[in-house]
Structure 1
């Protein structure tokens, strides 16, 4: 039926899903909190722990290459990118933020695979701390909802 909307519970049912997570280690206190919130939410949504693969990479610029390896494996229904980029005094912030974001988006489109981008970009550590838990949870919910949507559309 055109315009029919599955219930929220169906959209967020992770029982049959396989999810890959790539976490940047840089700003590890923040990225660990992002990962904990994300993993807790995936489990709460019913994703079996054995269906979650969580890998670490040095920083946000390395996240897309690990996501690409996961996408090419054809074992995942959705992927999640976790990282934290805090503005410094140089142009490096813009470079890392723009290139990591573009890489994540390109992979999602190229592989037609949902990738929840929770590489947070902030002006300072306080902003990152304020966002770490909600963004981690949001990433899990986006990954599950989009995986279910793409399955429905295929």
Structure 2
């Protein structure tokens, strides 16, 4: 018996060139390849560009995004990985800590689509990663694109507070 269908929002229209960084852990390489294929297809469908960075595991994904945010010029990020439950509590640590770190980066204003799969079995991961099935990589890319569009819609040309050169010349201060 099939469950309820899920609504998939249409991709946002981007007002200017957009560049995303896909950060992927190829720990399960075939799963990762499917996730990346789905993400790239969504990014290209929106008319955006991308780069891909590979990292050893899911715990390194948020750190890589944090470094890229400080040192590069990406508009948003797509986090792709897969954590399959094993025999130890390491699964819980990796799932919770990677998710929490991505959430904290998002709350700082980064536009991140979280496509780190947390599953019980390899078979569950394969269905979720496959672009022809659940396409969670594509969904994560779409989420990042929507966040970028919202941040641009709500953003200000100048976010800083204090003095600006123009106002200093006029003897004023920004609020």
Match of 1:116 in 2: 113
Distance 2:70 2:14 in 1: 24
Count the aligned residue pairs. Answer: 143
Distance 2:113 2:15 in 1: 15
Match of 1:44 in 2: 45
- Show the 5 A alignment for 1:141-152: 141-152=142-153
Deviation at 1:53, TM superposition (A): 1.6
- Structure 1: unaligned runs, 5 residues or longer: 1-6
- Structure 2: unaligned runs, 5 residues or longer: 1-8, 156-175
Measured on the aligned residues, the alpha-carbon RMSD in Å equals: 1.7
Larger helix proportion, structure 1 or 2? 1
Tell me the TM-score normalised to structure 1 length. 0.86
Q: Say which structure, 1 or 2, has more relative contact order (CA 8 Å, 6+ apart).
A: 1
Q: Following superposition, which runs of at least 4 residues in structure 1 exceed 4 angstroms of deviation?
A: none
Work out which of the residue numbers 74, 88, 91 in structure 2 matches 1:90: 88
Tell me the TM-score normalised to structure 2 length. 0.76
- Show the 5 A alignment for 1:125-136: 125-132=122-129, 133=131, 134-136=135-137
Secondary structure at the residue paired with 1:126?
A: helix
Mapped contact 1:12–1:141 kept (Cα < 8 A): no
Q: Which has the larger radius of gyration?
A: 2
